[in-house]
Amino acid sequence: MASNGVLNLNGSVALYGALTNAGTVNWQAGEMDVYNHPSFGETAEIWNEAGALWDIQCDQALVTQYNLVHFHNAGVLRKSAGTGTNTSYIYLNNTGTVHAESGVVQFTGGSDLGGSFQADTGATIYFAGGSYTLSSTPTNFLGPGAVQITGGFVTLNAFVGALDIYSAVVSGTLSGTLNMLNGGGINSPLTVLNNGVLNINGSLLIYGGVLMNEGTVNWNGGTVQTWGAQGGEIWNGVSGLWNIRCDQEMDDATSGYGRLPFNNFGTMRKSAGTGICTISLDFDNSGILDVESGTISFTGAYSNSPSASLAISLGGAAPGSGYSTISFFNPLSFDGTFSLSTRNGYLPNPGDAFRVLSYPSATSSFTCLGGLDLGGGILLQPQFGVTGLTLLATAYTTNASQPQLFITHTLGGAAITWPDGFPGWTLQSSTNLSSSAWTTVSNACGNQATVPISAPQQFLRLSH
């Protein structure tokens, strides 16, 4: 097509060789089938040269046959008519302009995303399939209509800036913000770097690689599934925050076949949602599990190391909406620390009880329990039962010259606690009150200690 030539396509067209346009092509009706099979002598491609116009005036499809065909656009590729969808199953090599004036222009074969893409009011450009590589926010996606990635495979190359995608499969490295607005997948390693943010807003399938988080993952909605048999796994690194803001489920897509654990070295926090978030994956915890709202229910195995920490928030009398809870469906052995915080100035009344942990059975105990003294003369006594941990609000005398001791049952012994604000006091024990020999009891946690159940009958006191 010479620069002064005009080609009007008004019916189905089969293209077997290269079509080069330096003038105007008006695609008015009919499907276009582009054949590329060199062994059959079919080598079709389309070249829309600088200064040329390829004008789409219909809602038809540009279909590649056999091998993927390239559409090389250095001019203007425009949809000027038709309120429906024109779909191109080709690879778009773009150095020119793609302009949607009406309806939808949809590419499913991938693109280098060069040149510019503009959608007018009421019009849309979708990248719904194929492969795309991005290292920064596309500045060539122009409105006022929507220009969006709605599918395909997106590789992030140390991506910075912000990007919204819908239902695409993602891999690479993320330093900016990625909003997965309609779910999607991860099919090979995706690393969220320290300053990266991944927002999950729909069902997500992780397969064929590890999601490694050293930044922030905000799980806002939708189920999260791993496919362990294909290498799908989650690692939350030391600097990583996995922020749960929904009441959804995390499980294995194959109902346990080849299931891999969630490895937590950083912080998993449930910060929103007053219902239950269910973790069906096995959970290996060497970091912080912080439940500020609602409940996390572990239906898979739970394991922890001495560096692990469980944290609960207290803001009312009702479980879930008032105070947070954690439930375990499998027997476990506690290690690490437990801590409690209050919110909104909440202070329970003496006698109020809060069942914060539930389990079928448990052994061992936490090395320390922090935050039990709520101030205002209220201390929470930890009461470890056969199937759960209950915190009992107990009154103590404020402004006292010496502390009060509280003794409750714990796993494997007795828990000894006393109010904060008495530095320099030492816990001592003796088996004979008439003897002057008192032995110092280790209390590395400050205002608490655990006396093993195997110890003989003892008398306890605080000495200053």
348 prior amide bond cis, ω within 30:
no
- pLDDT of residue 386 exceeding 80, the answer is yes
As a three-state string, the secondary structure of the chain is: CCCCCEEEEECCEEECCCEEECCEEEEEECCEEEEEEHHHCEECCEEECCCCEEEECCCCEEEEEECCCEEEECCEEEECCCCCEEEECCEEEECCEEEECCCEEEECCCECCCCEEEECCCCEEEECCCEEEEEECCCCEECCCEEEECCCEEEEEEEECEEEECCCEEEEEECCEEEEECEEEEEEEEEECCCCEEEEECCEEEECCEEEECCEEEEEECCEEEEHHHCCEEEECCCCEEEECCCCEEEECCCCCCCCCEEECCEEEECCCCCEEEECCCEEECCEEEECCCEEEECCCEEECCCCEEEEEECCCCECCCECEEEECCCEEECCEEEEEECCCCCCCCCCEEEEEECCCEEECCCEEECCEEECCEEEEEEECCCEEEEEEEECCCCCCCCCCEEEEECCEEEEECCCCCCCCEEEEECCCCCCCCEECCCCCCCEEEEECCCCCCEEEEEC
Q: How far is Cα 407 from Cα 427, in angstroms, rounded to an integer?
A: 13
- pLDDT of residue 444 exceeding 80, the answer is no
Q: How far is Cα 132 from Cα 107, in angstroms, rounded to an integer?
A: 11
**Mean pLDDT (whole number) for 49-75:** 96
Residue 456: predicted pLDDT: 74
**Mean pLDDT (whole number) for 82-86:** 97
> Could you read off the pLDDT of 122-141 as tens digits, one per residue?
999 999 999 999 999 999 99
Residue 455: predicted pLDDT: 66
Closest Cα partner for 389 from 328, 449, 336? 328
Closest Cα partner for 323 from 302, 304, 344? 344
**Mean pLDDT (whole number) for 323-335:** 95
- pLDDT of residue 104 exceeding 90, the answer is yes
Q: Which long-range contacts (CB under 8 A, 24 or more apart) does 382-385 make?
A: 382/338, 382/408, 382/410, 382/415, 382/417, 383/408, 383/409, 384/408, 384/409, 384/410, 384/411, 384/415, 385/409
Query: Beta strand pairing status for 337-342 and 61-66?
Result: unpaired
**Mean pLDDT (whole number) for 10-31:** 96
Residue 259: predicted pLDDT: 85
φ/ψ bin of 272: left (φ > 0), alpha (ψ from -120 to 50), beta (otherwise) = beta
Closest Cα partner for 191 from 167, 209, 208, 169? 209
- pLDDT of residue 255 exceeding 80, the answer is no
Q: How far is Cα 203 from Cα 243, in angstroms, rounded to an integer?
A: 16
> Could you read off the pLDDT of 260-289 as tens digits, one per residue?
999 999 999 999 999 999 999 999 999 999
- pLDDT of residue 394 exceeding 70, the answer is yes
What pTM value is reported for the model? 0.92
Task: List the structure tokens of 92.
Answer: 């778009």
For 125, phi then psi, to 5°, come to -120, 120
**Mean pLDDT (whole number) for 89-101:** 98
Mean pLDDT of all residues belonging to the chain: 94
Closest Cα partner for 126 from 111, 140, 110, 147? 147
- pLDDT of residue 258 exceeding 80, the answer is no
Q: Which residues of 251-263 are buried (b: 16+ CB within 10 A; e: fewer)?
A: bbbbeeeebbbbb
**Mean pLDDT (whole number) for 153-170:** 96
Every domain of the chain and the residues it spans: 1-150
> Could you read off the pLDDT of 226-237 as tens digits, one per residue?
998 889 999 999
- What is the signed CA dihedral for 272, 273, 278, 283, rounded to 10 degrees? 10
- Rg (C-alpha) for the chain, rounded Å, is 32
Residue 256: predicted pLDDT: 66
For the chain, what percent of residues have pLDDT higher than 90? 79
Q: How far is Cα 420 from Cα 410, in angstroms, rounded to an integer?
A: 20
Residue 149: predicted pLDDT: 97
**Mean pLDDT (whole number) for 371-385:** 93
β-bridge partners, 118:
99, 142
The residue with greater pLDDT, 365 or 157, is 157
> Could you read off the pLDDT of 420-430 as tens digits, one per residue?
988 888 899 88
The residue with greater pLDDT, 39 or 246, is 246
